[in-house]
Amino acid sequence: MLTERIAVYGLLIGFSFIILFHVLALLRIVPYEMLWGGRLQNPDQMVVFESVAILINAIMLGVVCIRARIIQWILKPSVIKIALWIMVVLFALNTLGNLFSKNTLEQLIFTPVTFVLSIFCWRLTIGKKA
């Protein structure tokens, strides 16, 4: 059975690695052709997309930290629950997008990763603390 604890740790680790990956892309260690389904047209476009991705993933990491009470920030439980449902939907849609990526490596690596992150977010939405 997937416990909340496993979901929290999985999301914390997952978001940390995703943010690191996007930082490596900004540093051009990861080639931009490998990102965003192989649809980016130039490095300038990559900088914009990767910056937004880092911001969004940092916000999602914050939501998980608040939900897990790692960060003591008072928000209504309904706000956290809505944010988690949005994350479930975003990761589910991202999983579909990764399936149709032009980059085989992205299909093979990130499709299962985003699927698992979606399941972890879903697990937190159905928990009692949300």
Residue with tokens 């047209």: 41
Whole-angstrom distance, CA of residue 96 vs CA of residue 41: 21
**126 within 8 A of 80, measured Cβ to Cβ:** no
Per cent of the chain over pLDDT 70 is: 98
pTM over the 0.95 mark: no
Q: Are 86 and 59 in contact (CB under 8 A)?
A: no
2 CB burial (10 A radius; 0-12, 13-18, 19+): exposed
Q: Cβ of 93: how many Cβ atoms within 10 Å?
A: 12
Q: What is the pLDDT of residues 43-81, one digit of tens each?
A: 899 999 999 999 999 999 999 999 999 999 888 889 999
Query: pLDDT, tens digit, for every residue of 74-100?
Result: 888 899 999 999 999 999 999 998 898
Q: At what angle do helices 104-125 and 4-26 cross, to 10 degrees?
A: 140
The predicted-structure confidence for 26-43, as pLDDT tens digits, reads as follows 999 988 877 887 788 888
